[in-house]
Amino acid sequence: MTPQELKNSILQMAIQGKLVEQRPEEGTAEELYQQIQAEKQRLIYEGKIKKEKPLPEITADEKPFDIPENWKWMRLRSIVYNRGQVIPKGTFSYIDIGSIDNKKQCLNVEENLIEAKDAPSRARKIVAYGDILYSTVRPYLHNMCIIDKTFSFIPIASTGFAAMTCHEGIFNKYLFYYLMSPSFDSYANHTENSKGVAYPAINDNRLYRAVIAIPPFAEQKRIVAKIEELLPYIDRYEQAWSKLENFNKRFPGDMQKSILQMAIQGKLVEQRSEEGTAEELYQQIQAEKQRLIKEGKIKKESLLPQITEDEIPFNIPENWKWVRLGSIGVTQTGNTPSKVHPEYIGKDVPFITPGDILNGYISYDNQALSTLGKLVARLCGAGTVLQVCIGGSIGKAAITDREVAFNQQINSITPISCDSQFILAVITSQYFVAKMKESAGGTATPIINRGIWNMLLIPLPPLAEQKRIVAKLEEILPLCEKLKK
């Protein structure tokens, strides 16, 4: 149950007579109703309110729930009145929708002082301490409050509010909480009552026809006391609930990061001596690179520096090896063929930009180059790992399943004698992405060039263990994705 659902439940219990017990000695709401009628006659006689047409009888269909025997259904108009309207003559404190905090249902601390000459046309309603303001526009937003302070100048409210002064015998706080209840919300926001699309509003006639369940005055006060006793507990519940919600939202992502970190530290699967060592694999990779260089299939690169003890970020198994990323494959930075040559654009090879890489997948349908465009582009084949190397998207990566071209905001590595899925897991881990961001240059837009990217360290296990790690990740990570839904 959400905090709002809990609060709604308490308010609904309150207005149905289920929050506190009924006490015979407190009289009946019928007696209270007769007192209110007497007071209305007095106010009419004194000229403080106008005589109104008799209200229609309340039908059984209008009563949304059962109430205790000593309660009474009354129409809202029969228990409140308004103080009338006025055109501002001097400086006044204007109360409009923006004057109310609709999360706490209270007035803002700062007054909105306006001169008469600058008065909005809606600044008309006379209000005083203890009155209830209820926004008739989008009533579901609960832009409402009790006026609970004095003002430095006469307060005048917007005509966007229903301004209600309670008759004697109606506790303003009881009515206020009633207006916040799910039952009243249901009435005020019903399509028959609240008209309009962008700004649905309930007119005064519909609003004041609403039926209100009224208990004796003493019980009204006891209900309010009980509500206000419970509200701090709801606030505490909301704080705990919010923490739990935040934890639940973070948990799948945090778990995913933790699993990847375990994977690259050699803690996800066991090590097997029969699978050899990463040192042996590393030597095979170097031999293969030399063969490819000799055959002219790749270019000879500058030697990467030896790894020092200070660079190693965490411990790995004995049969693993720390290596520089560029030492285990062929790396490139992409480029963008000149746009002054429209003949470079075509349908022959997908052209990948950072926006085409999302959640470990590549979209191949957005842009493509022609056969001529391929001649001036940077190409890579299936099994190559692409990683974004610039801006807020640094670290996004995916593996190609076909020949593609890619732009200068992406680095690529085609692993040699390594599992591409394992390399993807390593370079998308929290450790590696953090290293990328730490090593990135640039002020306004961070960027990590291929030379620095090649220098970054990755942990390398034997090939067979790489494949077992990938299999385990493919088993576990989909469970994290399910938790996000």
Closest of 99, 166, 109 to residue 135, by C-alpha? 99
Q: Are residues 179 and 288 in the same domain?
A: no
Which residue has 């994705």 as its token pair?
481
Closest of 317, 330, 328 to residue 461, by C-alpha? 317
Mean pLDDT of 472-482: 83
Distance of alpha carbon 247 from alpha carbon 245, whole angstroms: 5
The continuous run of DSSP H or E covering 423 comes out as helix 420-427
- Range with the poorest average pLDDT among 50-64, 249-263, 376-390: 249-263
> What 3-state class would DSSP assign to 36?
helix
Structural domain containing residue 51: 3-238
Name the phi and psi angles at 167, rounded to 5: -65, 160
Q: Are residues 234 and 276 in the same domain?
A: no
Residue 84 tokens, joined? 């009338």
Say which DSSP state 409 is in.
Answer: T
Structural domain contains residue 477:
no
Distance of alpha carbon 286 from alpha carbon 278, whole angstroms: 12
Name the phi and psi angles at 468, rounded to 5: -70, -35
Mean pLDDT of 255-268: 90
Q: Say yes or no to pLDDT of 220 above 70.
A: yes
Structural domain contains residue 484:
no
Q: pTM to 2 decimals?
A: 0.64
Structural domain contains residue 485:
no
Q: Are residues 225 and 289 in the same domain?
A: no
Q: Are residues 284 and 178 in the same domain?
A: no
The span from the first CA to the last CA of the chain, in angstroms, equals 19
Q: Are residues 200 and 287 in the same domain?
A: no
User: What percentage of the chain carries pLDDT values higher than 90?
Assistant: 76
Give the chain's domain count: 2
Q: Say yes or no to pLDDT of 45 above 90.
A: no
What is the pLDDT at residue 193? 85
Q: Say yes or no to pLDDT of 73 above 80.
A: yes
Q: Are residues 295 and 196 in the same domain?
A: no
What is the pLDDT at residue 441? 80
Residue 222 tokens, joined? 């006891």
Q: Say yes or no to pLDDT of 290 above 70.
A: yes
Mean pLDDT of 327-337: 94
Q: Are residues 184 and 284 in the same domain?
A: no
pLDDT tens, 124-156?
999 999 999 999 999 999 999 999 999 999 999
What is the pLDDT at residue 485? 66
pLDDT tens, 339-398?
889 999 999 999 999 999 998 899 999 999 999 999 999 999 999 999 999 988 899 999
Distance of alpha carbon 427 from alpha carbon 410, whole angstroms: 13
State the alpha helices, DSSP H only, in 74-202: 76-79, 172-179, 182-188
Q: Say yes or no to pLDDT of 251 above 80.
A: no
| Average pLDDT taken over every residue of the chain | 92
> One-letter amino acid identity for 241?
W
User: What percentage of the chain carries pLDDT values higher than 70?
Assistant: 99
Residue 292 tokens, joined? 């490819």
What is the pLDDT at residue 238? 87
Q: Are residues 282 and 143 in the same domain?
A: no
pLDDT tens, 441-460?
876 788 999 999 999 999 99
CATH assignment at residue 427: 3.90.220.20
Quick check: 78 and 34 in contact, CB under 8 A? no
Q: Are residues 322 and 433 in the same domain?
A: yes
Which pairs count as long-range contacts for 109-112, CB under 8 Å and 24+ apart, including other chains?
111/151, 111/152, 111/153
